[in-house]
A and B are shown apart, each in its own frame.
Chain A
Amino acid sequence: MKESTKICIIDDDEIYRFAFGRHLKSLEATSSLQTFSESEMALDFFREYRVMNDELPDILFLDINMPIMGGFEFIEAFEKLGLTKKIDIYVMSSLLSEENLKQVKNYESITDYFTKPIGEDTLNELISRISNEAQKYNI
């Protein structure tokens, strides 16, 4: 079940992408991990595979603080793509200011948020929650 969950990470921090991906792998949370260092590149990908739901991830981890196109700007553009597949978006940041939290509530497509670095316990809990939901969805 878990194996089929596709996960995508958008973060400009190379080390974080590496570490986060490795965590996910060690938890056997996913078989398919896709990473982007810039949100424009990710946006291009989603635009291209807009209708190919099998290629699209189930879960998206999105950094808020990125140069050029930040996390929230990405979401704005992403929502306009009009995807038919339901993708869970988790936003993350090393510092979630009050302003950030207010913004989080503005976007319906955001499932949840957490501060970086994400602890192993939080990650475990997140993964089990995700796979449970996926199971429910599939049954």
Chain B
Amino acid sequence: MIKPLSYKLRSAIFIFSIIITIVANKLIVMNSIDEQLEDAKIINIAGRQRMLSQQITKELYAEKINKVATAKERLAPLLKEFKSNHQYLRFENTRFIDVVVIKKSYRELQPYYEIIVDTEYNANQITPTIEVARFSKIEFSFLQLMNTIVFEYAKASENELRRTKEKVFLLSILSILILLGQFIFIIIPLLRSLKNKNEILNHKNQKLSDFTNITSHNLRGPIGNLKSLLSFYGTATDDEDRSEIIDKLNTVVSSIDTTMNTLIESIKVRNIKTTKKEPVLFSKTLAKTKDDMHLDITKANAKITADFSAIDLVQYNKVYLESIFFNLISNAIKYKSPERTVEINITSEKVANKTVLTFSDNGLGIDLKRHGSKLFGLNKTFHKHPDAKGIGLYMTKEQIESLNGTITAKSTINVGTDFIITI
């Protein structure tokens, strides 16, 4: 099984991808702005070429037809700019050089350009009227082609801008998806695990408060007794009195000892974080318990039947399972009815993915309405019995709950008791 990535690593991956998206977005937008600036320059220069071609023609007219002497001087800078612009558009600029219409237009435009550039020379050669008229025709063709080129440039530039917009849009969607992923894969599981931890904490709190109650219940009494006995000992007048007090002190101390040991045991059970689970068989566990309790079972002439046909093999803590079998069977024998021989029936079944183990006996039964809430409490006994210490069921419950299981009881007085365990 692949171990799920830690929240730290998951967060790092998501933060990294968000940063990548933001940087990519920024780069695309900046690049687009640069391109737009360049496109504006190209369109501007191409537009200017149209204007220059017209101005050159106009100056030519002025010189040839209107005989304006200064026209020649004005032609020179116009032609210079015209040439350098053409140089830039055709050879220096790399934008849109592969657009077919632009390429074709430039090719067609080249002869007209050359004629216009040669105007200075032509100006001396050509005769007025007819030649100037021919020149203006050339200029018209140039103008037309240049128009097409400007239009194409603008169109290409717009296309670029649209593509950029699409890219930015896709990136925004990607960012939203990443944020959504972060929510689904980090925040929600984190909240869920927090909720889980909170429940565990609440449960532990409850256990602690139970534990405090148990402690005060079971230790306050005996310790108060100790104090009383000690004060009597101080004021005792004869040895007989003293030895009686010492006797009683012994009883109290051993009862405190038992209580303390049970409490320590139960803390141990609670503290084992992951109690080792292993494959165990109910049938084998029962056989072992019967073996261990051979004497008690024979003495009570107890009849134990079992049906583990529904489920026999489970993953569980072996020691706990043995302890559960031992405690519940000895419980059934201890609280047997004097009118019947002990019959214990143990069955297992599968209910909604859980294994349910039921111990039924035909013993004295317990009045659950009266004692239900205390049934699994420490030092709670409900029968007059010399061996009744009220520890077995408490420890059984602690063990089952430490492995996230439950134990409940159903009972009818003088008919018997069912203990139902879900593991």
Contact = CB atoms under 8 A, between A and B. Distances in A.
A1 interface: no
21 contacts: A15-B222, A15-B229, A15-B248, A15-B252, A16-B221, A16-B224, A16-B225, A18-B248, A19-B232, A22-B232, A26-B235, A67-B381, A67-B383, A68-B383, A73-B370, A94-B224, A95-B220, A115-B220, A116-B224, A117-B224, A117-B225
B204 interface: no
Interface string A83-110: 0000000000011010000000000000
Q: A20, A73, A95: which has the most chain B beta carbons within 10 Å?
A: A95
Interface of B: 213, 216-217, 220-225, 227-229, 232, 235, 248, 251-252, 370, 380-384, 388
Contacts of B220: 94-95, 115-117
Given A22-B232, A117-B225, 18 more contacts: A13-B225, A16-B221, A19-B225, A19-B229, A19-B232, A65-B217, A67-B381, A67-B388, A73-B370, A94-B216, A94-B221, A94-B224, A95-B217, A115-B220, A116-B220, A116-B224, A117-B220, A117-B228
Interface of A: 13-16, 18-20, 22-23, 26, 38, 65, 67-68, 70, 73, 94-95, 97, 115-118
Contacts of A118: 224
B372 to A, nearest CB: 13
B359 to A, nearest CB: 22
A97 B222 CA distance: 19
Contacts of B381: 67
A116 B221 contact: yes
A116 B232 CA distance: 17
B238 to A, nearest CB: 14
Contacts of B251: 14-15
B217 A67 contact: no
A23 B222 CA distance: 16
A18 to B, nearest CB: 6
Q: A26, A116, A117: which has the most chain B beta carbons within 10 Å?
A: A117
A26 B251 CA distance: 23
B385 to A, nearest CB: 9
